Amino acid sequence: MTNIGHYRATAKVLESEGAVKTRLWICPPTRMDEHQLKEEGYYGIFGAAGARTEMPGCSLCMGNQARVNDGTTVFSTSTRNFNNRMGKDARVYLGSAELAAVCALLGRIPTVQEYLDIAAKKINPFAGDLYRYLNFDQIAGFEDEGRVIPLEEMPKIEDILGMPVKAGR
């Protein structure tokens, strides 16, 4: 439910901290985000933290892919917080990926000051680099990345409609 910059910031919070004290799932929104994060070395940080990386998708909908133990407290960046969605009697709190990383690092929801202190040290000095968007339109070969039919073999609109298509229509 976040953009690539939040995944980079999450990795910065976890970097050089060892394994987190909780279960941590990471699920990027697209395969291109996943590829870029791997290229930039962030998946190595997630692995060192003991995070479980999931197949990219619109969000990690835990009700479909995994469930937590009964009565567990969950901090999630997903919008799937209705009763029993993530686990029976799970207590689900929603927030940013950065806050989720701090929760995983501490093993609990931090105080405001604890969060601000960690963010000031681990995120803020790098914010300009971390929060760069992945601009698909600026990636060489993006249009062909997921293509299964070569561009020259793609059907033309005229062929599909059975008549010529004029500009402005």
Dump pLDDT digits (tens) for 28-54: 888 888 999 999 999 999 999 999 998
The Cα–Cα gap between 160 and 49 comes to 51
Residues lower than pLDDT 50 in the chain: 169
In the block, residue with structure tokens 């692995």: 47
Backbone phi, psi, residue 93, to 5°: -115, 140
Task: Give the pLDDT confidence of 52-77 residue by residue, as tens digits.
Answer: 998 887 655 655 567 788 998 889 88
Are 131 and 9 spatial neighbours (Cβ–Cβ below 8 Å)? Answer: yes
SS3 call for 91: strand
H helix intervals, 15-111: 31-39, 42-48, 62-65, 97-106
